[in-house]
């Protein structure tokens, strides 16, 4: 079995676009005609430029190889151009292609990927969801309202969710990090406590930020939200700064989580080594692929950290997260994005019921991609999958309104 060809589909995600504006799906074809699928996560360049990067990575490092050779292909991509250092764009391209390799290998062996990562440990995965506004609701008003956050959280618990995530600390901008304003602290504390009061002990609270604070500002925010007993405080400072993360971890009453913007073990290791992370959140379409994420999970386990795969992407990356999570002894939670479009793209594989994902025993990723639907939904916009706000943090309504 040898890799012969690849294709890239840039798939538009219809409004409200939960999971990002578009999904970058990659398709690998072997010389014997077998097909595997993967997904590249939120690149920092436009999708057409990313298409060219994916093609270069495939042709340069993977074409003609057996898809089992993920370690050899990773070493080539990681070392390309005399680099041997993390590169989110190259590693993003490789991650999606590597994901498709595992899909091919699992299909050839007639086994799910989890079985090839040491064996399936979990038949059901505890999942978490964001708190979302109603379709006809003003997003800015929703995200600023403690009362609406509490109502949405209570509704999630009624559906069976046992963990909910929210981002009440203000928008993320290209000018981070900053000190939170008094109004930011008050709003974050009020919203967190409203959610806690609404759910009681029925759900974990996951407090999301996006690296927007200085270390001292992050500590102030941590103490403001601590009475609501969040399970984690996500990316309080830019996650590539291990010293800053460690200083916050030492002073924060809330455990820290990070990982969606990090790639390869090399970027996670300084944080783990410094004791800065309680929860690692690798995004499988960026971290270096499934095999690299499994290595990272072993490092995290040794350091006493849990793993909660990050997912703000499409259903192919979701399927990869499911396979990895099912094999992890130090799994905490999995993020999931559930929309009719996500389900339609992959036939509703690995169904969600009452806040838990059922791990099926279908081979490979366990999905059947609706290629016709993907091709009928091309992305034609100019914006990136996710974007930061291009303005400074100034007094006034500083409300996060989604990615």
Task: Say what the pLDDT of residue 177 is.
Answer: 83
pLDDT the model gives residue 139: 86
| pLDDT > 70: percent of the chain | 97
Residue 105's closest CA among 323, 311, 400, 282? 323
The model's confidence at residue 161, banded by pLDDT at 50, 70 and 90, is: very high
**What structural domains does the chain harbor?**
3-110 (3.30.390.10), 115-364 (3.20.20.120)
Other Cβ atoms less than 10 A from the Cβ of 79: the count is: 12
Taking only the tens place, the pLDDT of each residue in 266-283 is 999 999 999 999 999 999
The whole-number pLDDT of residue 397 equals 55
Cα atoms in the Cβ-side hemisphere of radius 13 Å centred on 236: 37
In the predicted model, what is the mean pLDDT of residues 18-25? 95
Give the integer Cα–Cα distance in Å for 205 and 333: 12
Per-residue pLDDT band at 392 (split at 50, 70, 90):
low
Residue-wise burial string across 308-322, b where 16 or more C-beta atoms lie within 10 A, e elsewhere: bbbbbbbbbbbbbbb
Q: Which residues of 243-260 are buried (b: 16+ CB within 10 A; e: fewer)?
A: ebbbbbbeebebbbbbbb
Q: pLDDT value at position 290?
A: 98
Note if the pTM is more than 0.85: yes
User: Is the Cβ–Cβ distance between 364 and 131 less than 8 Å?
Assistant: no
Q: Is the pLDDT of residue 25 over 90?
A: yes
Give yes or no for residue 403 having a pLDDT over 70: no
**What confidence tens digit (pLDDT) does each residue in 280-308 have?**
999 999 999 999 999 999 999 999 999 99
pLDDT of residue 402: 61
Q: Write down the pLDDT at residue 140.
A: 84
Phi, psi of 93 (to 5 degrees): -60, -45
Q: Which burial class, exposed, middle or buried, applies to 71 when counting CB atoms under 10 A from its CB (0-12, 13-18, 19+)?
A: exposed
pLDDT of residue 260: 95
**329 vs 42, which has greater pLDDT?**
329
Give the pLDDT band of residue 390 (cuts 50, 70, 90): confident
| pLDDT surpasses 80 at 391 | no
Return the pLDDT at 395: 52
DSSP code for 364: B
Q: Does 177 sit behind a cis peptide bond, omega within 30 degrees of 0 on the bond before it?
A: yes
- Give the mean pLDDT of 205-222: 95
- Reduce the DSSP state of residue 45 to 3 states and report it: coil
3-state secondary structure of 50: helix
Q: CA Rg, the chain, in Å?
A: 20
The yes-or-no verdict on residue 336 having pLDDT over 70 is yes
């Amino acid at each position: 079995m040898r890799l012969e060809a690849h294709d890239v589909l840039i798939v538009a995600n219809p409004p409200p676009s939960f999971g990002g504006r578009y999904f970058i799906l990659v398709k690998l074809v072997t010389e014997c005609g077998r097909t595997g699928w993967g997904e590249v996560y939120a690149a920092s360049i436009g999708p057409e430029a990313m298409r060219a990067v994916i093609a270069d990575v495939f042709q340069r490092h993977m074409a003609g190889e057996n898809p089992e050779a993920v370690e050899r292909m990773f070493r080539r991509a990681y070392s390309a151009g005399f680099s041997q250092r993390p590169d989110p764009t190259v590693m993003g391209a490789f991650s999606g292609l590597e994901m498709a390799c595992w899909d091919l290998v699992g299909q050839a062996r007639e086994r799910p990927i989890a079985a090839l990562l040491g064996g399936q440990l979990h038949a059901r995965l505890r999942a978490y969801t964001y708190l979302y506004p109603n379709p006809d609701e003003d997003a800015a008003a929703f995200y600023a309202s403690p009362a609406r956050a509490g109502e949405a959280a209570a509704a999630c618990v009624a559906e069976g969710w046992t963990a909910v995530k929210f981002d009440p600390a203000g928008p993320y901008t290209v000018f981070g990090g900053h000190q939170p304003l008094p109004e930011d602290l008050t709003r974050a504390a009020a919203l967190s406590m409203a959610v806690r009061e609404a759910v009681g002990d029925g759900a974990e609270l996951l407090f999301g930020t996006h690296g927007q604070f200085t270390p001292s500002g992050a500590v102030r925010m941590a103490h403001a939200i601590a009475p609501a007993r969040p399970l984690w405080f996500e990316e309080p400072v830019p996650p590539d700064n291990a010293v800053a993360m460690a200083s916050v971890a030492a002073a924060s009453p809330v455990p820290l989580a990070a990982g969606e913007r990090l790639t390869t073990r090399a970027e996670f290791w300084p944080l783990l080594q410094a004791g800065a992370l309680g929860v690692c959140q690798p995004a499988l379409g960026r971290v270096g692929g499934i095999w690299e994420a499994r290595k990272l999970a072993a490092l995290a386990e040794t350091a006493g950290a849990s793993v909660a795969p990050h997912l703000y992407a499409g259903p192919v990356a979701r399927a990869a997260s499911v396979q990895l999570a099912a094999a992890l002894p130090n799994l905490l939670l999995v993020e999931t994005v559930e929309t009719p479009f996500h389900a339609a793209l992959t036939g509703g594989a690995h169904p969600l019921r009452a806040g838990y994902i059922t791990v099926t025993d279908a081979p490979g990723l366990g999905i059947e991609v609706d290629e016709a639907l993907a091709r009928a939904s091309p992305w034609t916009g100019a914006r990136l999958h996710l974007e930061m706000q291009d303005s400074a943090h100034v007094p006034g309504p500083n409300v996060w309104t989604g990615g």
